[in-house]
Each structure stands twice: as structure tokens, then as C-alpha cells.
């Protein structure tokens, strides 16, 4: 009978992923590719917003998009119709992407001819926030119908994001959405957060988002 041994591991589960994410960021820096991680709840308007951003930026920078979903390819098809390179990633039931899965996706997408890679994460405010994907910047979309109290309910995602897009501003009169309160709650979680109110359907406010994004891309790829 073999002897039972206790091996002390003392390893953080997130640590391995964090290391992989840092390595991926270093690689992207060398390759001069900027990676954006886009997060939101399902239905907040990630793909519609992305469409508006692509229309404005596709002649200024070379864009590649990875659409992550549990199943289906509707998003990748919608993005491909915009005339940029896009692939669909399936997470096989998992609620988020980690750095290893993101790297696989980037390899499949091919980054040699991409300056601005966008990862549209699985629609979810909880799990994607916990796993560093290796992205250079994180951005999230909160839509008006979801309510202004979300920074209180899902604090982590507001902490890890660099910018917050507030979408569906065209319907704000029909909802009890308090713009001052959402800003107050969001800044409580993250005082450095950039906030952009937009309407992805009409394109209102999207120019400001694009200016910020293009600035980030050029800064990283210098």
C-alpha cells in the first residue's frame, strides 16, 4: 500500500489565470495589437454598440472581433456583415472567458493584420469580472431598462472596468433611471471610471466612445 502524503499547495486559483493574462498582454504589446474586453448583461446592446463603433472606426484602424457565447453564431454573422474580420467562440456552457481561452481565440482570429481586437464576452455581470482575459482595457455597457442600482448589486464589474457605456438613452423617459445616482454609485466603486451615455440604435453619443477607444488603441500600439 502506498503511503498517503499531504502536499501543501497554497496557490490562488485566480493566480494562474492572472499570470497567463499578464503574459498575453505582453505578447499583444509586442505584436502591437490592442485588446478590448466588452462586458454587459445579455441584451444590453453589446453587438449593436459594436456595430456603430465599427462603422466609425473601420477605416481608421484594422478591427477584428471575437464573439463569445454559450452557443449560436448570430453575433459573429452580424459583425461580419459590417465588413470586419470576426469569429465566434463557444464557451461550452461556461459563463465567462479566461486568459487561456482568449489566447486561443486570438490565435484563431489571427492578430498580424489586426490593430484593434475586440472580445465580446459572454453576457453576464458576475463571472467575466472575476477572470482577467488579458485585455488591455475593459469596458461595460449598462442599459437604461436594467436600472441605476446595478453598481450596488454587481460591484466587482464596475471596479474592473475602465469605461462604462450607458446605453438606450432614448428610452430614459419611460424608466425610473436616475442618471445622477448611477454616476454616484459607479464612482463609489471606481473613481477613475469614464462614463459615456449613448443610444446605440441611433448612434447618439457613440462618437465620444470612438474617440476614447481610438486614443487607447493608438497609445498602446505606439
Partner 1 sequence: MHELGIVFHVIDAVKEVAAENDAKHVNSVTVEIGEVSLVIPSYFEDCWKWAVSKHEIMTDCQIKIDILPAVTYCEDCQKTYATVEFGKKCPHCGSDKTYLLTGNEFNIKEIEVV
148 is a contact residue toward partner 1 (CB under 8 A): no
CA 178, 128, 122, 47 torsion-angle sign: positive
- Angle of the 46-57 helix axis to the 206-221 helix axis, nearest 10: 70
Q: At a CB cut-off of 8 Å and minimum separation 6, what does 182 contact?
A: 142, 148, 150, 151, 166
Residues 203-222 that bind partner 1 (CB under 8 A): none
Task: With CA atoms as reference, report the closest residue to 129 among 147, 151, 149, 144.
Answer: 151
16 is a contact residue toward partner 1 (CB under 8 A): yes
Residues 64-93 that bind partner 1 (CB under 8 A): 93
Specify the residue for cell string 423617459.
Answer: 173
Complex with partner 1: residue 127 or 208, whichever CB lies closer: 127
Find residue 139's DSSP bridge partners.
Answer: 38, 163
d(CA 198, CA 204): 5
Q: Which of 69, 75, 98, 103 is the binder for partner 1 (CB under 8 A)?
A: 98
188 is a contact residue toward partner 1 (CB under 8 A): yes
Stretch that binds partner 1, among 47-55, 122-130, 137-145, 167-175 (CB under 8 A): 122-130
Q: Which of 68, 88, 89, 96 is the binder for partner 1 (CB under 8 A)?
A: 96
CB of 218 to partner 1, least distance (A): 33
Residue 167 in grid coordinates: 446605453
Stretch that binds partner 1, among 14-22, 47-55, 57-65, 80-88 (CB under 8 A): 14-22
Which residues of this protein are in contact with partner 1, per CB under 8 A? Answer: 2-14, 16-17, 93-96, 98, 126-127, 130-131, 156, 188
Amino acid at each position: 500500500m502506498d503511503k498517503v502524503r499531504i502536499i501543501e499547495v497554497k496557490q490562488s486559483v485566480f493566480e494562474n489565470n492572472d499570470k497567463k493574462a499578464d503574459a498575453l498582454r505582453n505578447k499583444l504589446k509586442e505584436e502591437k495589437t490592442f485588446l478590448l474586453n466588452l462586458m454587459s448583461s445579455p441584451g444590453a446592446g453589446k453587438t449593436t454598440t459594436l456595430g456603430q463603433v465599427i462603422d466609425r472606426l473601420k477605416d481608421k484602424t484594422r478591427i477584428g472581433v471575437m464573439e463569445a457565447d454559450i452557443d449560436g453564431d448570430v453575433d459573429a454573422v452580424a459583425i461580419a456583415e459590417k465588413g470586419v474580420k470576426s469569429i465566434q467562440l463557444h464557451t461550452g456552457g461556461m459563463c465567462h472567458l479566461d486568459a487561456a481561452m482568449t489566447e486561443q481565440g486570438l490565435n484563431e482570429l489571427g492578430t498580424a493584420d489586426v490593430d484593434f481586437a475586440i472580445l465580446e464576452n459572454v453576457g453576464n455581470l458576475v463571472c467575466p469580472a472575476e477572470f482577467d482575459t488579458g485585455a488591455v482595457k475593459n469596458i461595460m455597457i449598462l442599459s437604461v431598462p436594467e436600472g441605476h442600482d446595478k453598481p450596488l448589486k454587481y460591484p466587482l464589474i464596475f471596479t474592473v472596468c475602465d469605461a462604462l457605456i450607458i446605453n438606450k438613452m432614448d428610452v430614459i423617459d419611460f424608466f425610473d433611471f436616475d442618471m445622477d445616482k448611477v454616476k454616484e454609485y459607479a464612482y463609489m466603486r471606481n473613481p477613475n471610471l469614464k462614463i459615456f451615455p449613448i443610444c446605440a440604435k441611433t448612434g447618439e453619443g457613440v462618437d465620444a466612445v470612438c474617440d476614447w477607444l481610438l486614443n487607447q488603441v493608438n497609445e498602446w500600439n505606439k
